[in-house]
Amino acid sequence: MVGMGMIFDETYRPFLEQAHAAGVYDPAFGAIRVELAAVASRTGSRAESYRQSAGDRIARFASFREPDSIGQLLAHGVDLVCVATPDDRHFAAAKAALLAGKHVLIEKPSVLSLAELDELERLARERGVLAKVVYHKLLDPDHKKLRTLVADGELQHVNTGYCTLLEPKSISGSQFAEWIVGRNPGTYVAVHYIKLIDFTFGGRLKSVACTGQRGIVGPATGSTWDSTQLR
C-alpha cells in the first residue's frame, strides 16, 4: 500500500480487514488469500497508528517511510501495489512498481498527463502485469442504472447530458486541500463523469474540455476552484 490517508481509511481498510477475517472467494479460483503485507508512506505515523488501533483485525505488516519507502516496499516481496497518494505522486510510485514487475492499482486520476499514461501502459505490457485505475463511483446505483438503460436499448441516440456535483467549500479547502493544490479543474472530480460516459456508452468520447472559475465564493488566488464546467 502506497499512501495511508483518507482513501486508505475509507476504501482499502474495510476491504483488507474483511479479507483478513473471512478471505476472498472467486468462482474461477476459489478461496484467495489477500493480506496487507507492507505500507509505504512519508512519515510512517499513520501506518503505526493504524497498526496499534487495528489489533488482530489485520495481519502484521511492514511499514516503510521516506526517503526510500517505495523501494523498500517493492523489495519486501509484494505481489500487488495499490497507489492512494495525492495525484501528483501517482506516476513515480506506479512506474517503480511496474518496473519491479508488480501489478498496480491506482486511484483516479491515474496520472496527470497522457505521456505518463502511455509510459505506464507500455511498462505494464512489457512486464506482463496489470495496471488498473479505481473508479469506485461506477458501482453507485445511479451509474449502474444508466448503463443498464443504454444496454437494454431504452436510451438511444443520446446527444447531450447534464451532471452536477455540489460540495461544501470546507471540504476542498481543508479535507482535500493537499490533493487539489496545483490540479487542473478536471482531475479532481470531473474524471468521474468522463469515466461514466465511457462506461455507459462504450468509449465514444471524441474530445474533452474543462474550464473553471475562482473569486466567486472564495479568493481569486485561492488554491481551489469555486466552479468548473466539463464539456
Fold of 6-134: Rossmann fold (3.40.50)
Instruction: Output b/e per residue, 21-44; b: 16+ Cβ within 10 A.
Output: eeeeeeeeeeeeeeebbbbbbeeb
H-run or E-run covering 106? strand 103-107
Task: Locate 195 and state its grid cell.
Answer: 469515466
Domains of the chain, by residue range, sit at 6-134, 138-230
Q: Tens digit of pLDDT for each residue in 98-148?
A: 999 999 999 998 998 999 999 999 999 999 999 999 988 888 899 899 999
Quote the pTM value. 0.84
Q: Tens digit of pLDDT for each residue in 73-102?
A: 999 999 999 999 988 899 999 999 999 999
